[in-house]
Amino acid sequence: MTTEAIPGSSSAIRVIDQPAPVPRPGKWQKAAVVEIRAETSTAKTFRLRLGGAPDYLPGQHFILRLTAPDGYTASRSYSVASAPDGSNDIELTVERLAGGEVSTFLHDEVVPGDELEVRGPIGGWFVWRGDTPALLVGGGSGLVPLMAMLRLARRTGRSDLVHLVVSVRGPDDLYYAAELSGPQTDVLYTRHVPEGWTRPPSRLRVEDLPSSMAPTTTAYVCGSSSFSDAATDAILGAGVPEDRIRVERFGPTG
Amino acid sequence: MNFTRGFRSRGPRDPRLPPGQYDVGSDWPVLTAETTPLVPTENWTFSVQGLVEQPSMWSWDEIKALPDSTYSGDIHCVTTWSKLGIAFRGVSVDILLSAARPLASASHVLATSHTGYTTNLPLSDVTGGRAWVVWEYEGQPLEREHGGPARLLVPHLYFWKSAKWVSGLQVLDHDEPGFWERNGYDDRGDPWLEQRYQGD
C-alpha cells in the first residue's frame, strides 16, 4: 500500500494538541527481506529484518529506498502493517501499481534474501498508542496502518479498545482476510459480496458503524480522498466529534 | 555504496527533481490530516498581524483586486512526489507584507489556516518573489480539496509549508514550530537539501 505519509500541506486541525513525543526517524538502514506473502493478486507483504528492534507506533510509516549502480535512487513511503513486538522485523504491504517504479520492482524482482534500505518511523499524528478507544475505518489498501493498530490491540490483550471497519470492492480485494473475523471487525463490500452475504453491496454508511462508542473514542480514517470524505461524514453522523477524527488520505504512488 | 540487486535507473533523471523525489505526473495526491473544510469566499479573509506597523486584513474581493502574478514551475511533497511544470495564479506575499510593513525585529512568520493548521517559515522564504497566496491552478479555481478558495504557495520548500485554506500570516521575531513541525518535520523544509525531518 502506499499511504502517503503524512503532511499534506495542511489540515483541518480544529484543536491543536501539543503532541506527545513519538519515535523519530533515524538514519537510513539496511533491511533484509526475510519473507514475502501475497495478500491479494495485486498486494504483497514484505517482512524486513532490521539491524535492531525498531521503535515505532502503529500508524507510522517507513520510507523504502532502491539504489541503482549509477547512484540513482527511488523512494516511496509505506505504512507499517505489523505491530511492534520486540523483534527486529517490520512488515510493509505494497500494492502493485502498473508502471509504478518502486512497487513493480518490489513485486516483480525482489526475493527473500535481498537487501533494501529503509528509514523511519515517520509520522506523529496518525498514530495509536494502544491505550485509548479507537474506531478504525479503512478503504481498500487504507487498511494497512489500521491493521497495525488492530494487531497491537490483540497482542496486548486490549481488543476491547478497538473496532475496525474496512470497505473493499469485493472479497478478492481484502488484505489480511484470515485475521478479519471476530467481534472487533466488520468487512463491507461495495461491488461484489461473498455468497450468502446479507448486506447488499454499498458504500460505507452511518449504519455500518458501531451504534455506541465511548465518548473518548478517536476515529482513524485511511483511504482514498473520496473514501475518506465519505467515511468522515458517516463518522460525524455516528456522533464522533470532528476534533476526534484523524484522517490519512493517500493517492497513487508508484 | 549499497545498491539494490536488479534495480536500474529509468534513463536520465529529470534535473527538476530534488533528491529522493519522483515525478507524480498528472496526479495530484491529496494529503490532509483531518476533514476537508468548506470555506465560503464570503467568509474568507486573509490577515497579516503580529510585528507589523499596520495590521491588515483583506476580504475575498479585496485580495482579488490586488495586482496578481503567476508561478510556473514545480512543487515537491515531503512524501516523495513532485509535480513538474504547473502554474498557479494569485498575489505575491511581498504585496501583502508591504501593506502591513513588518517591524525591523521581524524574522519569521507563522502561516495560519482557517482550520487551525499552522506552519512556520523564515521571513526570507516568503519575500523576494518566492511566495504567493493563490486561488487558481492551471487556469481554474483552486479546488477545495487542494486548499481552495485560496492557499499559501511557497514552492521552493516542501509543500506542507504551502498552507491550504490559508487565513493569514503572524509576523514574529522568532521561529515557532507549526503543526507538522511539532510532529517531527523540519522547521525549514528545503527539498534540495532533503530537510524532511527534524534534525535533517
Q: Where are the domains of chain A?
A: 29-122, 134-249
Q: Is the peptide bond before B12 cis (omega within 30 degrees of 0)?
A: no
- How would you classify the pairing of strands A245-249 and B140-141? unpaired
User: What is the model's pLDDT at position A52?
Assistant: 95
Helix/strand/coil for B54? coil
Residue A13 has pLDDT above 70, yes or no: no
- The confidence band for A19, taking pLDDT boundaries of 50, 70 and 90, is low
User: What is the model's pLDDT at position B26?
Assistant: 81
User: What is the model's pLDDT at position A26?
Assistant: 81
Q: What angle do CA B111, B151, B144 make, to 5 degrees?
A: 135
Copy the grid coordinates of residue B63: 485580495
Pick from A83, A90, A219, A92: nearest CA to A152: A83
Across the interface, do B161 and A249 touch by the CB < 8 Å criterion?
Answer: no
Tell whether the torsion through CA atoms of A129, A131, A132 and A137 is positive or negative: positive
Q: Fill in the DSSP letter of residue B13.
A: P
User: Which residues of chain B does A145 touch, with a Cβ-Cβ cutoff of 8 Å?
Assistant: none
User: What is the model's pLDDT at position A4?
Assistant: 32
- The confidence band for A12, taking pLDDT boundaries of 50, 70 and 90, is very low
Residue A153 has pLDDT above 80, yes or no: yes
Across the interface, do B31 and A9 touch by the CB < 8 Å criterion?
Answer: yes
User: Which residues of chain B does A116 touch, with a Cβ-Cβ cutoff of 8 Å?
Assistant: 4
Does A229 lie at the interface with B, CB-CB under 8 angstroms? yes
For chain B, domain boundaries: 42-193
- Which CATH number is A134-249 given? 3.40.50.80
Q: What is the mean pLDDT of chain A?
A: 89
Does A56 lie at the interface with B, CB-CB under 8 angstroms? no
Distance (Å, rounded) from C-alpha B184 to C-alpha B197?
6
3-state helix, strand, coil in chain B (%, to 5): 15, 30, 55
Range in A38-42, A112-116, A195-199 with the lowest mean pLDDT: A195-199
pLDDT digits (tens, 9 = 90+) for A98-140: 888 999 999 999 999 999 999 999 887 899 999 999 999 999 9
CA distance B42 to chain A (A): 19
Residue with cell string 523512494: A75
- Amino acid, res. A128: W
Please tell me which residue of chain B has the smallest CA distance to A221.
Answer: B34
User: What is the model's pLDDT at position B30?
Assistant: 72
Q: What is the pTM of this model?
A: 0.82
Question: Considering only the top CATH level, what class is A29-122?
Answer: mainly beta
User: What is the model's pLDDT at position A11?
Assistant: 40
Across the interface, do B79 and A71 touch by the CB < 8 Å criterion?
Answer: no
pLDDT under 50 in chain B at which residues?
none
User: What is the model's pLDDT at position A18?
Assistant: 46
Mean pLDDT, rounded, for A77-100: 94
Residue A21 has pLDDT above 80, yes or no: no
Identify the helix (H) or strand (E) that includes residue A153.
Answer: helix A143-155
User: Which residues of chain A does B162 touch, with a Cβ-Cβ cutoff of 8 Å?
Assistant: 9-10
Q: In the CATH hierarchy, which fold is given to the domain comprising B42-193?
A: Sulfite Oxidase; Chain A, domain 2 (3.90.420)
pLDDT digits (tens, 9 = 90+) for A156-167: 999 999 999 999
- Amino acid, res. B110: L
Residue A78 has pLDDT above 90, yes or no: yes
User: What is the model's pLDDT at position B199?
Assistant: 75
ipTM above 0.85, yes or no: no
- How would you classify the pairing of strands A162-168 and A185-189? parallel
Q: Which of B21, B32, B36, B120 to mutate to test the interface with A (most CBs of A within 10 A)?
A: B32
Asked if residue A203 lies in contact with residue A167, where contact means CB atoms within 8 angstroms, the answer is yes
Does A254 lie at the interface with B, CB-CB under 8 angstroms? yes
Q: Which of A2, A4, A10 to mutate to test the interface with B (most CBs of B within 10 A)?
A: A10
User: What is the model's pLDDT at position A5?
Assistant: 34
Asked if residue B125 lies in contact with residue B156, where contact means CB atoms within 8 angstroms, the answer is yes
Does A36 lie at the interface with B, CB-CB under 8 angstroms? no
Across the interface, do B79 and A77 touch by the CB < 8 Å criterion?
Answer: yes
Does A72 lie at the interface with B, CB-CB under 8 angstroms? yes
User: What is the model's pLDDT at position A203?
Assistant: 93
